[in-house]
Chains A and B, each alone.
Chain A
């Protein structure tokens, strides 16, 4: 009996059969058990997420640098210095363009792939299977594979362009072309994942809704815009928000594809944090850039919640 009392009661459980759980001693043990079970997860998050955030905010106000040996409180100096730091200024601008462009592209291409994978055709299983490949390939490997695929001398795509038009495109010495390449390769890597989520959302829509629309004479185009789009809108917005935040921290792809180059044209804030913090050991300055990232996450969160509420009210 004593052993049995250890056992917790779950949600949605009929409370009638095991009335002894109402005893206060049992309740206390139940709470203790809960705390014990979640303790490892919360200890991990406290030490390697919560505390580091606070520490990052604090370090952002210091000039801690391992190589220079400085460690003083400098107030807002780091933030003032960012204003005149070309790397950070350029990275801030491109980061915002990058996260917006990749998120919109991800959603659009992801939707197109999801529509394809939601159609019946021979080869569907094959298509659904290879759709997982871009998700599974390590991002750094995708970065290098595309760097090589787009190589101006011996890359396949520039070679084809030269054969067709006689032009000799050199992508990675051109800032704009490099930026476009970073955004498109990012979409190649992540749109299939988006498609998996959107496809699951589409498959959750009851088939009789489509039957009813067909009876009413709606064509495929009208069924898509009138039914599919509004019904998966909350999911689309949620995933769009996740994608914005994930893209903010995206580091591997730029590291492999361009390393921020040419110059600082494709550098993102995440890469700047890595450069200043891990390569140059300027812990204070790197932390201040991290704080900018955290502020951007907070802004996205607030805007996102507002958008989400709106989408729920409308549909």
Chain B
């Protein structure tokens, strides 16, 4: 009996104290989700429902806009290009970075610390700052207007951060396992593939996901270096649909439909692997 009263008092005060927290939570949720709701609502509506006043909050859902996109632009081609660009960039970046990260984490080399620092320093460079020479380089290599060209450039851009994070992942693996393998006469490819790869899978998956998201979302390189539908990505397609129809008003239902198409796979990927991604994003910055 004597215990009940203070306990009730505490839980009552807790409720009062938590009100600001829940208010902040509600405001935060609304702010984050409002544009997402607006985009989704518009992507699945017929255009006439979007220009009614007062506004229609939940128009009759339809898939018509996606059908229109397939008819009027090579939407399936853009989707394929985006996937190809994102997948190849993510995989090649992993390969290049994994080799370099192994060297930085495990091989003693005079000045390797400085070399890693120089590699990271190139991250400070704004991508747009070298766009003109990159354009010329791709022209010279006959790689302009191709997925291969933009993959090459973006792979290079994403490599420093990936190396940085992978170095810290590899360093967390105890060296004893490799040492034992070395004494057993394992070669370097064997060590990288059979010993180190299985234990660094979480790190590789993390950076693979982050780089996939980066490439899928990238606008600058496809917009600058591709001109034909066989190389353009969804990010370029959305800018063209926005720009193309301007005299008659924007086809917002189509723009938002492309937006949803670009957002859904990425958001699903991120929500399924949020822990892994957060670890990757903070892996380099913390510690």
User: Which residue from chain B places its CB closest to the CB of A17 in the assembled complex?
Assistant: B179
Q: Mark B103-135, 1 if CB is under 8 A from A, else 0.
A: 111111100100100010010111111111111
Establish whether residues B285 and A138, one from each chain, have CB atoms under 8 Å apart when the complex forms: no
Establish whether residues B129 and A44, one from each chain, have CB atoms under 8 Å apart when the complex forms: no
User: Which residue from chain B places its CB closest to the CB of A5 in the assembled complex?
Assistant: B182
Chain B residues with CB under 8 A of A131: 32
A315: interface (CB < 8 Å)? no
A169: interface (CB < 8 Å)? no
Least CB distance, B222 to chain A, in whole angstroms = 10
Binding-face segment, B4-12, B62-70, B259-267: B259-267
Establish whether residues B124 and A297, one from each chain, have CB atoms under 8 Å apart when the complex forms: yes
Q: Which of A240-266 contact B (CB under 8 A)?
A: 245-246, 248-249, 251-252, 255-256
Least CB distance, B63 to chain A, in whole angstroms = 19
A315 to B201, CA, bound (A): 37
Establish whether residues A3 and B179, one from each chain, have CB atoms under 8 Å apart when the complex forms: no
Q: Mark A1-30, 1 if CB is under 8 A from B, else 0.
A: 101101111111100011000000000001
Binding-face segment, A100-108, A116-124, A175-183, A222-230: A116-124
Establish whether residues B133 and A200, one from each chain, have CB atoms under 8 Å apart when the complex forms: no
Establish whether residues A283 and B132, one from each chain, have CB atoms under 8 Å apart when the complex forms: yes
- The residue from A48, A135, A200, A255 contacting B137, defined by CB atoms under 8 A apart: A48
Q: Which of B71-127 contact A (CB under 8 A)?
A: 96-97, 99-100, 102-109, 112, 115, 119, 122, 124-127
Establish whether residues B131 and A273, one from each chain, have CB atoms under 8 Å apart when the complex forms: yes
Establish whether residues B22 and A121, one from each chain, have CB atoms under 8 Å apart when the complex forms: yes
Establish whether residues A52 and B133, one from each chain, have CB atoms under 8 Å apart when the complex forms: yes
Establish whether residues B35 and A146, one from each chain, have CB atoms under 8 Å apart when the complex forms: yes
A286 to B156, CA, bound (A): 22
Establish whether residues B35 and A44, one from each chain, have CB atoms under 8 Å apart when the complex forms: no
Establish whether residues A196 and B281, one from each chain, have CB atoms under 8 Å apart when the complex forms: yes
Q: Interface residues of A toward B: which range?
A: 35 or more
Main secondary structure on A side of the interface with B? helix
Chain A residues with CB under 8 A of B136: 55, 283
A91: interface (CB < 8 Å)? no
Question: How many chain-B residues does the 8 Å CB contact rule pick out?
Answer: 102
Chain B residues with CB under 8 A of A123: 22, 25
Q: Mark B3-43, 1 if CB is under 8 A from A, else 0.
A: 00000000000000010011011001101111110110010
Establish whether residues B103 and A38, one from each chain, have CB atoms under 8 Å apart when the complex forms: yes
Establish whether residues A138 and B32, one from each chain, have CB atoms under 8 Å apart when the complex forms: no
Least CB distance, A117 to chain B, in whole angstroms = 9
Binding-face segment, A75-83, A148-156, A208-216: A148-156
Establish whether residues A130 and B29, one from each chain, have CB atoms under 8 Å apart when the complex forms: yes
Establish whether residues A49 and B21, one from each chain, have CB atoms under 8 Å apart when the complex forms: no
Chain A residues with CB under 8 A of B242: 144, 256
Chain A residues with CB under 8 A of B129: 53, 56, 249, 273, 290, 293-294, 297
A135 to B217, CA, bound (A): 10
Given contacts A48-B156, A159-B55, contact A10 B106 (CB under 8 A): yes
B224: interface (CB < 8 Å)? yes
Q: Mark B235-250, 1 if CB is under 8 A from A, else 0.
A: 1001100100000001
Establish whether residues A10 and B108, one from each chain, have CB atoms under 8 Å apart when the complex forms: yes
User: Which residue from chain A places its CB closest to the CB of B95 in the assembled complex?
Assistant: A40
Chain A residues with CB under 8 A of B258: 141
Establish whether residues B35 and A149, one from each chain, have CB atoms under 8 Å apart when the complex forms: yes
Chain B residues with CB under 8 A of A249: 126-129
A110: interface (CB < 8 Å)? no
B58: interface (CB < 8 Å)? no
- The residue from A135, A144, A154, A286 contacting B50, defined by CB atoms under 8 A apart: A154
Establish whether residues B21 and A200, one from each chain, have CB atoms under 8 Å apart when the complex forms: no
- The residue from B36, B125, B163 contacting A133, defined by CB atoms under 8 A apart: B36
Least CB distance, A214 to chain B, in whole angstroms = 15
A135 to B22, CA, bound (A): 23
User: Which residue from chain B places its CB closest to the CB of A41 in the assembled complex?
Assistant: B100
Given contacts A7-B191, A270-B126, contact A140 B156 (CB under 8 A): no
Given contacts A33-B107, A116-B28, A121-B21, 4 further A-B contacts (CB under 8 A): A37-B103, A53-B129, A128-B274, A137-B263
For this complex, 26 residue pairs linking A to B, each with C-beta atoms less than 8 Å apart, are: A11-B105, A12-B175, A34-B107, A38-B104, A40-B96, A40-B99, A40-B100, A41-B96, A44-B155, A45-B122, A47-B137, A48-B157, A49-B122, A53-B130, A56-B129, A127-B25, A133-B267, A138-B262, A145-B36, A148-B42, A153-B51, A154-B50, A156-B34, A197-B281, A249-B126, A278-B131
Interface positions of B (Cβ within 8 A of A):
18, 21-22, 24-25, 28-29, 31-36, 38-39, 42, 50-51, 53-55, 96-97, 99-100, 102-109, 112, 115, 119, 122, 124-137, 152-153, 155-157, 159-160, 163, 171, 175, 178-179, 182-183, 185-188, 191, 213, 216-217, 219-220, 223-224, 235, 238-239, 242, 250, 252, 255-256, 258-259, 262-263, 266-267, 269-271, 274, 277-278, 281-282, 285-287
Interface positions of A (Cβ within 8 A of B):
1, 3-4, 6-13, 17-18, 30-31, 33-34, 37-38, 40-42, 44-45, 47-53, 55-56, 59, 112-113, 116, 119, 121, 123, 126-142, 144-146, 148-149, 151, 153-154, 156, 159, 163, 188, 192-193, 196-197, 200-201, 204, 235, 238-239, 245-246, 248-249, 251-252, 255-256, 270, 273-274, 277-278, 283, 286-287, 290, 293-294, 297, 301
Chain A to chain B: the 4 pairs with minimum beta-carbon distance, closest first: A249-B126, A52-B130, A52-B133, A10-B106
